[in-house]
Chain A
Amino acid sequence: MAETAPKKLDLQRRPMPKQEPEVRSQNFDEVALGYTPELAMEEARRCLMCKRPQCVPHCPVEVDIPGFIHCIAEGDFSGGVRILKGKNALPSICGRVCPQEEQCEGSCVLAKRGGTIAIGRLERFLGDWASAQEQQSIDLPTPTGKRVAVIGGGPAGLTVAADLVQLGHEVVIYEALHKMGGVLVYGIPEFRLPKKTVETEVDYLRRLGVEMKPDYIVGKTRTIDSLLEEFDAVFVGAGAGLPWFSEMPGNNLNGVYSANEYLTRINLMKGFSFPKTITPVREHQRVAVIGGGNVAMDCARSALRLGARSTILYRRSRDELPARLEEVENAEEEGVEFSFLTLPTRCVGDDNGWVKGLECIRMELGEPDASGRRSPMPVEGSEYFLPFDAVIHAIGNSPNPLIPATTPDIEIGRKGNIVADEATGKTSKPRVWAGGDVVTGAATVILAMGAGRKAARSIHEYLSNPGSEW
């Protein structure tokens, strides 16, 4: 009835129900609870269905955003899923962890008026809705007889596998750890991305016929050259897993962790249920997290949930925090403390080799440099001591060194990354493609997936024209 009436602008972004801060800071369950179908439809109806949508080109995999939102508005969830999954094999994951404010949502026309459509939440809603449905039988295309090996079971590798298996190629994923998912399972905490969600998406790929080989370290268990004898193409999505430690004395004291170690103990090894599970996580009282990105927020919020007083030490100010604003606010609400303009200079230990605190120095922000960032400078004479019984370095990671070290004839960049063509993912080594963090250095889930998608397209092209040049 109201169909022809001009649409009234609704700028009320529908909030997503969340666990209360006091409650969630005590548990590892997911913080955001997701839209109900009613909320999702209300939110979807706010979309203006722009003729030339600004959001789509800002999504690294170019999801047809108005298309799936229109379906939600009409209550046609399965139609929405079809549109969404055509571009994004892992919507439940991206809806949760994409930095939407810099991507799709950031360029929504309603953003200027403060009423951005909650694209990520809607994507998450559809992804979760799809996994909750009866599993439908999947029509698989006729096999092409071509075989592709994928190294690494993170978002890049999973995307390549999903795309190629649906084109009829046989795909085997080799993963060094005992679980598929890469950073999604060992890094990003349960309260932000439930491992169940990742498992569901991985299971979907398994049902599509992707073969998974965990506990398999390419370069060690078997080299790429040996894989090339058996496979027509190889994709390397080995990620950026080599942790950095900020340069200061005392880093090898007990109680000093890389973010990867701390998060792996908790997530992959389920240390939060120790001693029911047996990989120990120490009960710390006061935890310092060095860094200001998403990884630092994840560590600080995990430490809090394990009962510690948790402080983030960052050398610039709040405005410069590289983490997503939403994550910073979540951390603040839960009670994570922030010590800005603080640079740790030394880990101080006790007689038993355990850390007992950090020597720090105050910083001040200088004039903006060429890139417009104000660089922090130490304030002379401002050294002071802060007591901590754990220190976590969350300042970044380099590409995983195992493949570069065991594949002598693949071109490696200055930062230890594998060099690959941006448009196709081709490396210097014939029949080998690469993408994701191992090429770019630590980036995002959706960029890794985007790179996987491009590589899959190029691999498919190559497999369809066997005589083609490298």
Chain B
Amino acid sequence: MFKLIENRPLVPNLHMLRVEAPEVARSVQPGQFVIVRVEEDGERIPLSVADWDSEQGTITLIYMTIGATTHRLSRLPAGDGLPTVAGPLGNAMEIDHFGSVVCVGGCYGIGSIYPIARALREIGNTVTIIIEARSSYLLYWQEKLKQVSDRLIVITRDGSGGLKGHIDNLPAIIERLPQRPQRVIANGCNFLMMRASEQTRPLAIPTIVSLNTLMIDGTGMCGVCRVTVDDTVKFACVDGPHFDGHKVDWAELNKRRQAYLREETIPLRSSAGTAEQ
């Protein structure tokens, strides 16, 4: 069992979980994920590692409460255990001397972009972080992000914090930066990553996205995570999850993500029922 140290709501819909997983904490690199199981016979879900402490042997995950599994997870108190925290899986994000890098985060990606920005900045890149949300009450970790960036830019759609607008304003923001970025990295929901890639394509700025596909094993065994990138089929769990955003077949990805929406709500309804009793 992997012991929960902390498990609490961060903002509406997003929870933060700190869990003991010493072996993962020792070997994880920015951009990797773990597979979590909440109960015996439970589903296996992939979650990005947003932070870790290798000395204390803990990792931090930020998860959206959408399906049955994440709802069940959100109800577990500190001290409880998870039967599975397997990883770190996937490739690490490429960390190199790019010069200037823009990191874009939305939703859980505001958290998962954090270790990426930190690693990029540690080796001397100039890092601009842009975080986006519908409204300012959905933002978190701003202080933390400031510490690992040269500049933190906030965009909210209702204007309640930072700039009013959305990710489609990316070109305007990039234009006003003192240096043109050599690379953009986007983490978050597929919609955000797709829009960010569309905005940077005309600017010809290489853009890396971390795809969140359906997954089961996370080791290359089932193929449910397949995506088409540059007209070739890739398994996101072992070939990715980081890909060139300009080459991803987004339409296909979005359809594949939706595959089990109908089923996902069935156990949710029944589990919500039991929780209310």
Contact = CB atoms under 8 A, between A and B. Distances in A.
B221 A220 contact: no
A252 B252 contact: yes
A150 to B, nearest CB: 17
A243 B221 contact: yes
A282 B221 CA distance: 20
A241 B264 CA distance: 27
A215 interface: yes
Contact of B86 (A186, A217, A270): A217
Contact of A176 (B68, B86, B259): B86
A216 B259 contact: no
A401 B27 contact: no
Interface in B5-64: 23-24, 27, 35, 37, 41-44
B238 interface: yes
B141 to A, nearest CB: 26
9 contacts: A176-B219, A178-B37, A217-B86, A220-B27, A220-B89, A243-B222, A261-B216, A275-B267, A402-B219
A245 B234 CA distance: 12
Given A178-B86, A222-B23, A401-B238, A279 B43 contact: yes
A287 B270 CA distance: 28
Given A221-B86, A221-B87, A280-B266, 5 more contacts: A176-B86, A216-B23, A251-B233, A254-B258, A270-B41
Interface stretch (B117-125, B172-180, B188-196, B223-231): B223-231
Contacts of A254: 255-256, 258-259
The 10 closest A-B pairs by CB, nearest first: A353-B255, A280-B263, A215-B86, A261-B222, A241-B221, A258-B223, A254-B259, A275-B267, A278-B267, A275-B266
Nearest to A178: B84
Interface in A267-317: 269-270, 274-275, 277-280, 282
Main secondary structure of the interface of B (DSSP, over half): mixed
Interface residues of A, number: 40
Contact of A278 (B42, B89, B224): B42
B86 A260 contact: no
Contact of B41 (A215, A277, A280, A405): A277
A92 interface: no
A400 interface: yes
Contact of A252 (B24, B88, B228, B266): B228
A78 B267 CA distance: 47
Interface in A66-91: none
Nearest to A277: B41
Contacts of B219: 176-177, 217, 241, 400, 402
Q: Using C-beta atoms within 8 Å of the partner chain, give the interface range for chain B.
A: 35 or more
Of B85, B216, B222, the most chain A CB neighbours within 10 A belong to B222
Contacts of B256: 252, 254, 353
Contacts of B224: 257-258, 261
A277 B41 CA distance: 6
A378 B87 CA distance: 46
A352 interface: yes
Of B217, B233, B252, B264, chain A has the most CB atoms within 10 Å of the CB of B217
A252 B216 contact: no
A243 B225 CA distance: 12
A325 to B, nearest CB: 29
B223 A243 contact: yes
Interface of A: 176-178, 186, 214-217, 220-222, 241-243, 245, 251-252, 254-255, 257-258, 260-261, 264-265, 269-270, 274-275, 277-280, 282, 352-353, 400-402, 405
A217 B267 contact: no
A245 B223 contact: yes
A261 B223 contact: yes
A217 B219 CA distance: 8
Nearest to B24: A221
B272 to A, nearest CB: 12
B23 A402 contact: no
A260 B255 CA distance: 21
Interface string B75-112: 00000000111111100000000000000000000000
Given A264-B216, A402-B219, A278 B226 contact: no
A252 B69 contact: no
B251 to A, nearest CB: 8
B275 to A, nearest CB: 14
Nearest to A283: B263
A243 B226 CA distance: 11
Contacts of A280: 260, 263-264, 266
B86 A400 contact: no
A260 B270 CA distance: 28
A47 B221 CA distance: 43
Contacts of B161: none
